[in-house]
Amino acid sequence: MAAATTTVVHRPRTLVSAWLFLSSFVVAWDVGYILLRPRSMFGGDLHWLWSPYSLYMNVDYIYGLPSWDTKDGFPAAQSLMNVGESIINLFYIYLVHVKATQASLAVAPIWGLIAVIMTLSKTILYVLNDYCCGWCKTGHNDWYTLFVYWILPNGLWILFPSIIAYVFVQEISTTLKVAAGVQGVSHSTFAHPNSSQFSPVISAAISANGNGKREAGKANNSSLKDGSNPYLVHHSQLPSWAQDNAWIVKGYRRPGGTTQEARLKEFDHSTVYKCWRSVWAYWHNETVNVHTHLWGAVFSIVLSTSHLLQHLNLLPSWVRPFSHHPIFYPSSLTFTTVTGKVLRLASASYPGFANQLISQRPLTTTSQSLIGKALSLLSSTSASSSSFSIPSKLTNLAVRSPDTLDVAGFAAFFIGSVICLGFSSTYHAIQCHSQSISKKFNKLDYVGIVVMIVGSFLPALHYGFYCHPHYQLAYSLAISSLGTLAMYVVLAPTYATPAYRPYRTAVFLVLGLSAVVPVAHVVNLYGYRTITETMGLRFLILSGALYVIGACLYAARVPERFAPGKFDMVGASHQIFHVLILAAAAAHYISIRRAYAFWHTVEVIGSEGGKAGVCAALQG
């Protein structure tokens, strides 16, 4: 007769892992603020890293001066507990997505439950601490401020961990009942494609004496190699068109149209819905690739929308401090100088406070900085008296509005980012559909990379050669031509095969490294120090370096080639490349924001002669 063996398997849920991962970084940021006080507080030298707390420290006094002045130890004590919580969060992720053995999956729900119980209990304790002192930390707020900045975030920090804790408790309870033999195993609970319940994934591998049953057991075991998930297969089980990186051994989604057995067809990815569902329903070796660029594209859309709202003067006042964060200003307009504060406050539409700063500390053009040099030249050529002073000009300072080229430059950058990241996430989500779909979307992925490179070039060229329109035009035409050529290479069928992978990578490297020519030209015109102080050259160089490092790791298949199977789910070269692309895009954005800030604050001081004066000072 049949002998049955029951195996209980924990299936990690993408949303749970995403919450634990993201909350760990949010908590780490909060810990940094608390433990580095007063340097992290408003007025401190590290406050630029925690600028949103300048608002929150007045909402919740536990983050503000009252708590610091009275040496309240609760925030620091809670922060130390937060460190332990974050470590356990990341340990759970390691168990289920990196180690991913049967033993690690068996204990993972316990560690996950410990982590979310810590989150839940600390948040409740945090609320009770305020309640027990008669709301002494938050009772001074109006209802709107209290709800938006305190009740809502803390409520979510209680709700989500409660739901996750319930899921883990249910799974552990069911597992114990099955192990004790008091609950049977239902095949319907085994990762059914239409199942949306939060029940554990329990598989029964049944072997029987009959040949038919024995073959069925073998097929079932084969389909369960990857963490007992029938939707996933090994590299050796893929058709030739889906085999790309042999050092990534497991975690591949079962491609559509590759299974003849009717019993296994429900586990392939032959529809767009199944491909999209796989992004959220279970973890595979494309999960990181999809989510990094999916959320990168969403963030790019949000950021571009904020630019549009600011251009239309519709940006909410509470967002403006983020828009005018010190990191977006060059070192020549430093956060610590009154000049920098006045200019940025004016840019953030706080003229009253700007005038107050000016009246408290009037400035003259005796500074030896680049700003002082430019202002000296402007004052000497001005029709006004030679005793030009900044206060007389800044009292009615109005930073110049973006012109058509400014809008076009940032639009090119954002459109390029959204297209690149959107095409990339779509390709990685749907590549398991079929061979034809995979090829088509793979080409779109390459097109997106080219569009992003060209779109990143254009605003940088605009600000780098702000004083030389003919160089702007020449380099813009050159990069557009190179981009067109690169697009032809990636779209041509001849270069679409895996054998041409190194050549395709080389095309992207050459296209990206072509930035060396205009950068060297700008440095030769103005000098490295000047460009660094005014237009964020270091961030531009960092951006290029991140792209090159990511491309080289991707082409060399590092680190997985040195440890096949160890980086299948997290840490593979392609995943690292995706993260570095996001970091490079962020660095590039900071660079062009700094250049924009320089021209739009300094240039306006000299009225009509502003641009000519600053250009002359830069080259002087």
pLDDT of the residue at 353? 37
Tens of pLDDT, residue by residue over 328-377, are 877 665 544 444 444 444 444 333 333 443 344 333 333 334 445 444 44
Q: Is residue 149 part of a domain?
A: yes
Q: Which residues contact 405 (CB under 8 A, 6 or more apart)?
A: 462
Q: CA torsion angle for 87, 91, 94, 97 (degrees, to 10)?
A: -110
Is 222 part of a structural domain of the chain?
no
- According to the per-residue pLDDT averaged within each range, which of 261-270, 332-341, 383-392 is highest? 261-270
Q: What is the pLDDT of residues 557-608, one digit of tens each?
A: 999 999 999 999 999 999 999 999 999 999 999 999 999 988 887 666 544 4
Same domain, 152 and 58: yes
Residue 403's pLDDT band, with cuts at 50, 70 and 90, is confident
The confidence band for 169, taking pLDDT boundaries of 50, 70 and 90, is very high
Residue 408 falls within a domain, yes or no?
A: no
Query: Do 26 and 87 have their domain in common?
Result: yes
Q: Which residue has the higher pLDDT, 609 or 300?
A: 300
How confident is the model over 303-341, as pLDDT tens digits? Answer: 999 999 888 888 887 777 777 777 787 766 554 444 444
Reported as a single tens digit per residue, the pLDDT across 16-42 is: 998 998 899 899 999 999 999 988 888
Distance between start and end Cα atoms, the chain: 94
140 is a domain residue: yes
Dihedral angle sign, alpha carbons of residues 414, 321, 76, 129: negative
The residue that leads in pLDDT, 251 or 205, is 251
471-488 per-position pLDDT tens digit: 999 999 999 999 998 888
Picking from 373, 394, 415, the residue at the C-terminal end of a domain is: 394
Number of domains in the chain: 4
Distance CA 152, CA 138 (A): 13
Indicate if 365 and 509 belong to the same structural domain. Answer: no
Considering the domain architecture, whether residues 142 and 238 belong to the same structural domain is answered as: no
Task: Say whether both 151 and 247 belong to one domain.
Answer: no
Tell me, yes or no, whether 164 and 252 share the same domain. no
Specify whether 167 is located in the same domain as 251: no
98 and 166 belong to one structural domain: yes
Q: Is residue 83 domain-resident? A: yes
Q: Under DSSP, is residue 232 helix (H, G, I), strand (E, B) or coil?
A: strand
Residue-number span of the structural domain to which 61 is assigned? 3-180
Any domain includes 314: no
Pair 56, 161 in one domain: yes
The pLDDT value given to residue 331: 67
What pLDDT sits at residue 492?
84
334 plus 483 within the same structural domain: no
Tens digit of pLDDT for each residue in 212-223?
A: 334 333 434 444
Phi/psi at 232 (5° precision): -115, 150
**At residue 266, does pLDDT exceed 90?**
no
Instruction: Say what the pLDDT of residue 162 is.
Output: 94
Q: What is the pLDDT of residues 45-84, one digit of tens each?
A: 788 788 888 888 889 999 988 888 888 999 999 999 999 9
Q: Is there a single domain that holds both residue 507 and residue 386?
A: no
Q: Does residue 87 sit in the same domain as residue 148?
A: yes
Question: Percentage of the chain surpassing pLDDT 70?
Answer: 77
Quick check: is 192 in a domain?
A: no
Is the pLDDT score of 504 beyond 50?
yes
Half-sphere exposure of 508 (CA within 13 A, CB side): 25
Residue ranges for the binding site for Zn(2+)?
Answer: 428, 574, 578
- Whether the predicted pLDDT of 413 surpasses 90: yes
Task: Report the pLDDT value the prediction gives residue 192, as an integer from 0 to 100.
Answer: 36
For residues 21 and 94, the answer to whether their CB atoms sit within 8 Å is no
> What span, in angstroms and rounded, lies between the C-alpha atoms of 468 and 457?
16
- The H-or-E segment that residue 252 falls in is strand 252-253
Binding residue positions? 428, 574, 578
Cβ atoms 519, 540 nearer than 8 A: yes
Mean pLDDT of 438-463: 93
Asked if the model's pLDDT at residue 424 lies above 90, the reply is: yes
Number of helical H runs and strand E runs in the chain:
25, 4
Q: If 0-12 CB within 10 Å is exposed, 13-18 middle and 19+ buried, where does residue 366 land?
A: exposed
Question: Which residue did the predictor score with more confidence, 302 or 216?
Answer: 302
Proportion of the chain above pLDDT 90, given as a percent: 46
pLDDT of the residue at 289: 96
Q: Which residue has better confidence, 537 or 216?
A: 537
With contact defined as beta carbons under 8 Å apart, do 565 and 246 qualify? Answer: no
Q: How would residue 194 be classed by pLDDT, with cut points 50, 70 and 90? A: very low
Residue 498 predicted with pLDDT over 70? no
**Of 347, 366, 394, at which residue does a domain stop?**
394
Asked, as a colleague might, if the bond just before 391 is cis with ω within 30 of 0, I would say no
Is 269 a domain residue? no
Name the domain boundary from 394, 421, 450.
Answer: 394
